[in-house]
C-alpha cells in the first residue's frame, strides 16, 4: 500500500459526464464516508472562459473529492489546477481516457496516449503549481498503440515527473469507429495488464477501473493493485457503496439503511431548491437507490412522473419512498 499521498484511494467513484455532478456526489457521500469521489470532466476552456464558479462549486460535505480536468495545454492546465486547489479540491486528475470525437478535436482525452511527453509536460506544469496530488486516468492503450512496451513508455514517461498515481481503465480505446459508449463495452477488459503494471512499477499507486460491480470484486482486485474505481455500477446501483467503509476502508461502522440515506438528502434538497435548483436535477441521481428491491420500479416511476412538476417538493420524494417496502 502506498502511503505517500494522504488520500485513501482504495475505492473511488469514477468521473462521469452528466452523472457525477455535485448533487450526485453529495448523495453518494451519504452512502460512504471514505470513498473518493471524482467530478465530471471539466475542460480548461470551460474553467478559463466559462462560468468558473459554477464549474468549481461543490458542497464541503462531498469531500474527499477530486476534480478531473480535460486539456493538453500545460499553462492552461496549471492555471486550472491552481483554481481547483484554491477551491479546496483534494486532487487534480487529468483525463487521458475519454475517446469521444469532440474531445479528440480539442486534443483532450485518450488521443493523448499517443503523446506521452505532452501528458508529462501537462502533469509537470500542474505539479509545479499545486501541492495537492496530480493524477492521471488513462486506458491501457489506443488502437495502433496498444502494446505492452508502449503502455510502459506512457506510464514511465509520466512517472518521471514525480506523478505517483495512475488510474488505468483496463481496456484500450478505439479512436475511430466506436462511440464513447461502445468504447466502454466492446474492447475487452484486460485486468492482467493492469496487475502487471503494478508489478512493473511497484512504487506507483495503480488504481484499476472497468467493469467492476461489487465490493467482493473490489476486494479481489485489491490483492493485486492499490485501488479500485467503480463507474456505472456505482451510479446505477449506488447502494453497493453502503458497505464500503466497513469492507474496504476497515472502519467499524454499519451500512446506513436506504431510507435513512434518502432522509439525509431532504435538508440538502430543500436548501438547494431554495437556491433555485430544480428537484428533478437532484432526484435523477437517486433513481437506483432501491435497485433490486420490491417497489424499486414504483419508486423510480413516481419520481420520473412527478419530480419535474412545478409543485414538486421534498414531499414528492417522501411519497416515492413510501412506495418501497423494505
Establish if 230 lies at the interface with ligand FMN (CB under 6 A). yes
Minimum CB separation from ligand FMN for residue 40, in Å? 5
**What are the cell numbers at 124?**
509537470
Binding mask of the shown chain, residues 62 to 101, with x at each position contacting ligand FMN by CB under 6 A = ------x--------------------------x-xx---
Establish if 15 lies at the interface with ligand FMN (CB under 6 A). yes
Span from 14-22, 44-52, 124-132, 307-315 in contact with ligand FMN (CB under 6 A):
14-22
Establish if 25 lies at the interface with ligand FMN (CB under 6 A). no
Do 118 and 125 touch, CB atoms closer than 8 A? no
Report which DSSP code applies to 114.
G
Identify the residue among 64, 71, 211, 288 touching ligand FMN (CB under 6 A): 211
d(CA 211, CA 87): 32
Beta bridge partners of 70: 43
Do 32 and 63 touch, CB atoms closer than 8 A? no
Phi, psi of 208 (to 5 degrees): -100, 145
Minimum CB separation from ligand FMN for residue 273, in Å? 25
Minimum CB separation from ligand FMN for residue 28, in Å? 14
Identify the residue among 23, 25, 124, 184 touching ligand FMN (CB under 6 A): 184
Shortest Cβ contact with ligand FMN: which residue? 231
Q: What is the 3-state secondary structure (H, E, C) of 258-269?
A: HHHHHHHHHHHH
d(CA 95, CA 67): 10
Provide CB contacts within 8 A for 243, sequence distance 6+. 215, 255
Identify the residue among 71, 74, 210, 288 touching ligand FMN (CB under 6 A): 210
Phi, psi of 277 (to 5 degrees): -75, 140
Identify the residue among 33, 107, 145, 232 touching ligand FMN (CB under 6 A): 232
d(CA 84, CA 91): 8
Establish if 138 lies at the interface with ligand FMN (CB under 6 A). no
Which of 24, 80, 98, 111 is labelled catalytic? 98
Considering CB under 6 A, how many residues would be counted as binding ligand FMN? 23
Judge whether 326 counts as a catalytic residue: no
Establish if 42 lies at the interface with ligand FMN (CB under 6 A). no
Closest CA to 113 of 127, 130, 94, 132: 94
Span from 47-55, 149-157, 203-211, 240-248 in contact with ligand FMN (CB under 6 A):
203-211
Establish if 22 lies at the interface with ligand FMN (CB under 6 A). no
d(CA 319, CA 299): 9
Provide CB contacts within 8 A for 29, sequence distance 6+. 37, 61, 62
Q: What residues make contact with ligand FMN under the rule CB under 6 A? A: 14-19, 40-41, 68, 95, 97-98, 137, 169, 184, 209-212, 230-233
Amino acid at each position: 500500500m502506498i502511503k505517500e499521498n494522504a488520500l485513501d484511494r482504495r475505492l473511488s467513484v469514477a468521473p462521469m459526464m452528466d452523472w457525477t455532478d455535485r448533487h450526485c456526489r453529495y448523495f453518494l457521500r451519504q452512502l460512504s464516508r471514505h470513498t473518493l469521489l471524482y467530478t465530471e470532466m471539466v475542460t480548461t476552456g470551460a474553467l478559463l472562459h466559462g462560468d468558473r464558479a459554477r464549474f468549481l462549486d461543490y458542497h464541503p460535505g462531498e469531500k474527499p473529492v477530486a476534480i478531473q480536468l480535460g486539456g493538453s495545454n500545460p499553462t492552461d492546465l496549471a492555471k486550472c489546477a491552481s483554481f481547483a486547489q484554491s477551491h479546496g479540491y483534494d486532487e487534480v486528475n487529468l483525463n487521458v481516457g475519454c475517446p469521444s470525437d469532440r474531445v479528440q478535436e480539442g486534443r483532450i482525452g485518450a488521443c493523448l496516449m499517443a503523446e506521452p511527453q505532452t501528458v508529462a509536460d501537462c502533469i509537470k506544469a500542474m505539479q509545479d503549481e499545486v501541492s495537492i496530488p496530480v493524477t492521471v486516468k488513462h486506458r491501457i492503450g489506443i488502437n495502433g498503440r496498444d502494446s505492452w512496451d508502449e503502455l510502459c513508455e506512457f506510464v514511465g514517461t509520466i512517472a518521471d515527473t514525480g506523478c505517483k498515481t495512475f488510474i488505468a481503465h483496463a481496456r484500450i480505446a478505439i479512436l475511430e469507429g466506436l462511440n464513447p459508449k461502445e468504447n466502454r463495452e466492446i474492447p475487452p477488459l484486460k485486468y492482467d495488464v493492469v496487475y502487471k503494471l503494478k508489478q512493473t512499477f511497484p512504487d506507483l499507486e495503480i488504481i484499476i477501473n472497468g467493469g467492476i460491480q461489487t465490493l467482493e470484486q473490489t476486494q479481489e482486485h485489491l490483492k493485486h493493485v492499490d485501488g479500485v474505481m467503480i463507474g456505472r455500477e456505482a451510479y446505477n446501483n449506488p447502494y453497493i457503496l453502503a458497505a464500503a467503509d466497513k469492507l474496504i476502508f476497515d472502519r467499524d461502522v454499519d451500512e446506513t439503511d436506504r431510507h435513512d440515506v434518502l432522509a439525509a438528502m431532504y435538508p440538502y434538497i430543500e436548501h438547494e431548491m431554495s437556491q433555485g435548483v430544480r428537484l428533478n436535477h437532484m432526484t435523477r441521481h437517486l433513481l437506483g437507490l432501491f435497485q433490486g428491491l420490491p417497489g424499486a420500479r414504483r419508486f423510480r416511476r413516481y419520481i420520473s412522473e412527478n419530480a419535474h412538476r412545478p409543485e414538486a417538493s421534498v414531499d414528492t420524494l417522501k411519497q416515492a419512498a413510501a412506495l418501497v417496502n423494505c
